[in-house]
Structure 1
Amino acid sequence: MPRSLPAPWDAPPLHELPDDYRLSALQIHGAGIGTWAWNVQTGEIRIADEWARTVGYTLAELEPATITLWESLAHPDDLAESGRQLKRHWRGKTDRYECECRLRHKDGHWVWVLDRGRLLSRDEGGRPQWMFGAHTDLTRQKAAEAERDQILERFRRLATHLPGSLYQYRLRPDGSSHFPYATDTIELIYGCTPADVADDAAPVFAVIHPDDRDRVRAGIAESAVRLGVRRDRYRVLHPTRGEIWIDGVSTPERLADGSTLWHGFLLDATEAERQRAKLKLTAKVFSSTQEGVMITDPNARILEVNEAFCRLTGYRAEEAIGQRASLLKSGRQGPDFYRALWSDLRLKGRWRGEIWNRRKNGEIYPELLSIDAVLDELGQPENYIGVFRDITEVKQHQYELDRATYYDPLTGLPNRRLASDRLHIAIEHAKRHQELVAICYLDLDRFKQINENHDFGVGDLLLTRFAERLADALRGHDTIGRVGGDEFLLLLTGLRNRHEALELIHRVMELARTPFSLRQDEQIALSASIGVALYPELDLSADELIRYADQALYRAKERGRNCYVVFDREEGFISRVRADLLQAAERALADGEFRLFYQPKLDLRSGRVWSVEALIRWRLPDGRIRPPGEFIEALSGTPLDTRVGDWVIDEALRQQCAWHAQGLRLPVSVNVSADHLLGDDFVPMLRTALQHHAMAEPHLLTLEILETSRISDFARVCRRLEECRELGVLFSLDDFGTGYSSLTYMRQLPVDVLKIDRSFVLTMLDSEADLSIVKGIIGLGRAFGRLVIAEGAETPAHIEQLKALGCDLAQGYGLSRPIPADGVMQWVTDWNRSTA
């Protein structure tokens, strides 16, 4: 609607208009399409309910209705265009006024309308007087146009970035042909642009290799007759790239005028064809090579072998031909290995690597194997050629070299070099998984005196026995290295806190003090001094950590031996760092920098999400996330530890209620330290938090008890748990299996869930001992009516193994990493939908 004219003139009211004009206006008004009437000379406008409803108002809200109302609602950029169209209409250039424009909705957004009108009267001087019109809401139309444009742009981008060329090829009834559509990449295929072939396909046929041209035309003719899918591989003499091979596939349709239209795709197959020719040549000469050669069909069934194959595997040709290549499988490689092998073959056409295979006599041996795919004319695998050689001697030499380079010749333990290399790896792993590494420098006390009192062989035997005792006692992922005469380096990995590290060190001290029986009726008693450096409490390089552990060992010797010293406890450095960290954590709690992430727990029977565990993270002002391993230990035993623990419970309940309001009923578990649980204010705090968040189902909250080894007063703990259970919450016994009294804890504490310590779950696929522990805990849980959850299910293989063992729940990176709160609902919904 245009701006008003500058000078007002008197005009008759609507009821004074001619009858036919008034009737038309009333009919338009009754149609409910946003009608309007405008007195050009006075500026008065009259609008229908629908006009007002289009912009979110009632008629009453838009009073007084003058042309100023239109100007206040219309987009400034559209007013000028509206004025231009209006003047054209008044001058007789158009039979009516029409303009698309935007109006400001009451809610603040813009509404597109089609504004149409017509001048119905002029005054005696011929000046415009009354105009009538209507607004049509274009919102849906504009949305549809935007969606269409988005789809077209998506198709354009897809067609542009495909590795080949999309096209339409039309064969007319008179035999002529052209390309109605082709992407720009057709120039890489034929050397011509889409415009060059839009009317005539002759430039394409001109560059097809003369030896292939007739075959291509015949294939087109045949496809046009039977309307079948057309596939072909042929050569093109490209003007700049030379001779190239092209793979084409297309589907035809018959058009109303009798022509045939193909929709197709072209792909450069030059490299695949070169590879095919190369492998065919290899197959021709395979019988003369000294390496084993095996040719199979696409299903890995053996078609041919050479003499070297028979010599290396022990199978005669007639025994192997017709069998599948899996005849040679050793069982050393798992399904993941073969999936990766076949994936490379399908994507790249080749695989090369080392593999363990089995000879006919059962002997397992290593071989270096290359497998190449031979492709047919359509680019599909026709055969596979495997070429291999026995590398047993190479592996033996490599093993001997590694032993000499990285292992102590007396004990067979890693030497200083290998132990140092493993420490580098352990530090990187600890960074990724927020774990702790203990570097322990161990020295056997008065070993020199033992050597002097006995012959030299006794000392070597004692060192060997001690090394064996350490290897049996520590976990599979720990490292024990001999770095000197009677000095050992222990790398204790996969630790979550200092307390867990010190428990292991106590165990090592006891092992050293247990007498050794070396000869009949003769026992030798030892003791050990140990220096310890903890990462990341000391965020240093591997070499520096070993040096600090060595310094701590020196202090342990000064203290009289038979003890251990942790470097950071003896130096003031860590104390200052901890004080700064506590001060920063105090500010973080006040400033709301702590966040809860949530890690899902999987119901292994149904495959659905059972619950989530709340895990604290510290979001620093610069956006970096500080994991709990960097600050939780520093909080231990301080008043701030309790306040942070209270915050975790309150925040978890708040988030749980928020999910519930959105339709997600999700149990949540939180970690509670022993000191926090036994605090005088714990039960009142928990009761207040449950009431504050209106928890109608408090059993959806599970408290996971940490640091069970610090529990000494079982009667007090049992009373506290019963007080909490009266509020309706559940309890889980965390890290079950570690420490000597796990069974005692389970029998005496009224808990609902046992959580298997992640250290056992992580290594159960490789360690029979840890697998047995996992099986035993699952059996105990079933016998005592407890749910069992396995923490540390880091891979799909872990999850499948736990499911086979009958475990109830699993948690770990094999399912999901911890998720920010705002992503949990979508993740759980997607996961449960995928398993429905």
Structure 2
Amino acid sequence: MLTIDSNCDTVASHRRSACNMPPLMASPACDVLARLARAHFRVATVLITLSDSQGQCLLAADGTLPDALPPDLFASSLQMGTGLDTIVVLDTLTDQRFCIDWQGVPVRLPRFLAACALGDASGNYLGALYLLDDVFLTLDELGRAFLRDLAVLAAQALVRAQEETALCNRIAELEAAQELATLAMTGSGTGIWDRNVVTGEIHYSSAWKAILGYEPHELSNQVEDAYLRLHPDDLEHVKATMQAHFESRTDSYSVEHRIRCKDGTYKWICSRGKVVSRDLDGRARRMVGTTTDITAAREIATQLQKSVGLITNLTDQVPGLVFQYEESLDGRGFFSYASDGIRDIYELMPEQVAHSSHPVEARIDPRDLAMYRQSLLESATKLTPWHLEYRVRLPRQGLQWRQGDARPRRLPDGSTLWHGFIMDLTERKRIEAELHELATIDHLTQLPNRRHFMNQSEAELVRVQRRESQDAAVLMFDLDHFKAINDRWGHALGDLALIHFAKLLCLEVRPADIVGRLGGEEFAVVLPSTDIEAAVAFGQRVQRRATETPLIDGDNRVAIAVSIGIDNMRVTDVGAYQALARADKALYLAKEWGRNRIEIYHE
């Protein structure tokens, strides 16, 4: 047991009393609880301490020991019932209660601390269960409740350890006395039995009988009666185990099973024994052993299993993947825990990734795999939270989007451990794409709208000014006599005319060209790396298509004509709107001078 006194001594490896009691025996149950708490809350350290007016002593721990035990935040009252059973400190560096030092040297404690008080059945304060980490842990109400449950179990184990400690010291005092064995067995819930294999008689100590609630003068000595007390489901297993030892196939006899008490209830016991006498042929003659009541330990194990099952069920019900991922210094990784959500997130089973992360990487879209690996590398190197949106290709679902978030922690061997969550981002990405389309696309013609067209044109002007592109031509288009079309055939057919011209325009543009509807019957095109002469040829092709491809709507045949104004972008332009304005002035002249014409801007 590691200790520290109320003056903040560093943790030392010597025993000392707690609550004015002799040194406690080791408590395996507390060790198990510490490991369970650390595994569940995924913190760096879990401590279970005893407390009295002189300070604290460490009963059990799992993880990295701090330089000192935390100050006893519950010590103001050794009687519980004040309502202060759980304390959470988000940052010990800013909390005056944790400004401690030893012989002038500041003692550093982990920044995050959560503590739950331990109390016995009478409400007496015994000690505390601590969670410590340098990373902030969100402790919701479910987490607090689970911490309190662990504290209750720890307190029960602590009381049992105190009782066992007191008993062991009593045994030491009575070591030379005849009643030594009786007291030891009675106090620890253990009895002695002595079986005559030849006659079938078995004798029990008073402590053995007391385990089942019998008085010393009760119970027969026949082994057949002993078998009748065994639980029916355990009978054959007990017989087979004992027979194996009789036949020297095992070095000793040891079995856990249920046995019926005097009141008809069943207890769990651990029975151990050894043949101490055999005949010349090796047949067993006499066997002695002990029986220990393990009902309480079984109940604790059952409660712990239920708690673990509850947490597992909760994580498996979360729509997403709750995971624990570990990666060594050489880059080899595996998922030490993966919830059932991995079936939907990656279409894999938890056991498929328990030893290697390759099955997951095989699901990541090749376009995002390098980014995925680099993001994990940066998170491991800098110990910064991991956040990434990436695509996966799944056998059943096809292309999907995923978002991963996790917090890393450096392990003693230099590897990195992440605890995190991966969610399905596909629907959100689809909505974002739709919103982007609504913001950038003209809903009637499906061409880029004025705003998106201008943004693309500005980018092209920057390339022209940087000499990254040759001259870029700007063309303005206006459908001739469009008002007359609306007046004669109605606005519905006018909309069809706009859609029809937009399709004709798209047949002429190249992939790098910029095209858009500016409003009404006005369209514009930017032709990168195109001089005026080539721009005129482009405009002529558009006019020819419009002439040769009239709009057909039922019996209506609507001829489409278009006027065009042209200029090019200049390195002196402040913005793309200037080239567009010059092309618009040329378009105005084309309309004025007869329509269905192409005019080039002149100063």
Instruction: Give the TM-score normalised by structure 1.
Output: 0.32
- Identify the structure with the greater helix proportion: 1
Higher RCO, 1 vs 2 (CA within 8 Å, ≥6 residues apart): 2
